[in-house]
């Protein structure tokens, strides 16, 4: 009986430890030379913090961008990643300055987007769909964006196409082609800073952009 109790206590302790390890808060900040998203440049030098809570395959968090030129964005997101590579999520795009609780079509402050992703090996596929119309957020409802990417050993390539707020005309167009690479900059024996550089071409607007950033 005593051995059984000891075994039971050990199992409970192990499960509790596993549960604690599976739950994690993470905080990081990116500093980028310019804020470019899906082929469109929104601002210049920006600070972009992320706060996230994860447990198992589920994660919920907030991401923001504060440009030195005054541009502001604050997003909320929730995502569930399955073991076989599929992920499902919802993102709320909000731009400070608009009434946060305005959900109307004419001047709504939130763009709500469904996110579907699949990754296997180095291949990644993403499909995104805005399902609401919000005037201040710039969404028309039904906005779509698809992206295909592949990560090699030292660099990654990607291509994306979309309509609605992803295109200057609203028509479905190829808007985001690029290549990116990351390098660790060693500061001390125990501390290094990831440096990422991305070259981006938007064929629809005929704009070429080069973005560099570090993660703290």
Residue 196 sits in a domain whose CATH number is 2.40.160
> Is 10 a member of any domain?
no
> Is 11 a member of any domain?
no
Instruction: Compute the distance between CA of residue 176 and CA of residue 55 in angstroms, rounded to an integer.
Output: 32
Q: Residue 198: what pLDDT?
A: 98
Give ∠ CA 121-39-168 in degrees, rounded to 5: 135
> Is 13 a member of any domain?
no
Q: Residue 191: what pLDDT?
A: 84
80-111 pLDDT tens trace:
999 999 999 999 999 998 899 998 999 999 99
CB atoms within 10 A of CB 125: 15
Q: What is the mean pLDDT of residues 111-118?
A: 97
Which residues form the domain of 116?
24-215
> Is 107 a member of any domain?
yes
> Is 185 a member of any domain?
yes
Q: Is the pLDDT of residue 5 over 80?
A: no
Of residues 17 and 73, the one with the higher pLDDT is 73
**What is the enclosing helix (H) or strand (E) of 114?**
strand 110-120
> Is 16 a member of any domain?
no
Q: How far is CA 58 from CA 26, 61, 159, in A?
A: 13, 10, 27
132-167 pLDDT tens trace:
999 888 888 999 999 999 999 999 999 999 999 899
> Is 136 a member of any domain?
yes
Q: Which residue is it, tokens 């993660």?
A: 215
Of 153, 133, 149, which is closest to residue 141 (Cα–Cα)?
133
Count of structural domains, the chain: 1
Q: Residue 189: what pLDDT?
A: 79
Q: Residue 20: what pLDDT?
A: 47
User: 103 CB contacts (<8 Å, ≥6 apart)?
Assistant: 109, 110, 134
Tokens of 117: 């992703």
The least confident of 74-78, 165-169, 201-205 is 165-169
8-64 pLDDT tens trace:
434 334 344 444 446 899 999 999 999 999 999 999 999 999 999 999 999 999 999
> Is 34 a member of any domain?
yes
Q: Residue 22: what pLDDT?
A: 61
């Amino acid at each position: 009986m005593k051995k059984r109790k000891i075994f039971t206590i050990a199992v409970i302790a192990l499960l509790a430890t596993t549960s604690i390890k599976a739950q994690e808060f993470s905080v990081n900040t990116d500093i980028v030379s310019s804020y470019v998203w899906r082929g469109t440049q929104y601002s210049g030098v920006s600070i972009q913090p992320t706060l996230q809570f994860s447990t198992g395959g589920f994660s919920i968090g907030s991401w923001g961008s504060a440009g030195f030129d005054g541009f502001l964005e604050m997003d909320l997101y929730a995502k569930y990643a399955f073991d076989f590579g599929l992920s499902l999520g919802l993102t709320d795009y909000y731009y400070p300055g608009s009434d946060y609780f305005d959900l109307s079509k004419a001047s709504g402050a939130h763009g709500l987007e469904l996110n579907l992703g699949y990754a296997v090996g180095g291949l990644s596929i993403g499909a995104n769909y805005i399902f609401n119309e919000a005037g201040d957020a710039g969404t028309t409802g039904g906005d779509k964006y698809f992206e295909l990417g592949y990560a090699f050993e030292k660099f990654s390539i990607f291509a994306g196409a979309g309509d609605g707020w992803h295109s200057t005309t609203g028509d479905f167009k190829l808007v985001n082609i690029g290549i990116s690479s990351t390098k660790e900059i060693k500061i001390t024996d125990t501390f290094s800073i990831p440096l990422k550089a991305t070259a981006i071409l938007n064929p629809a607007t005929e704009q070429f952009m080069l973005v560099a950033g570090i993660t703290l």
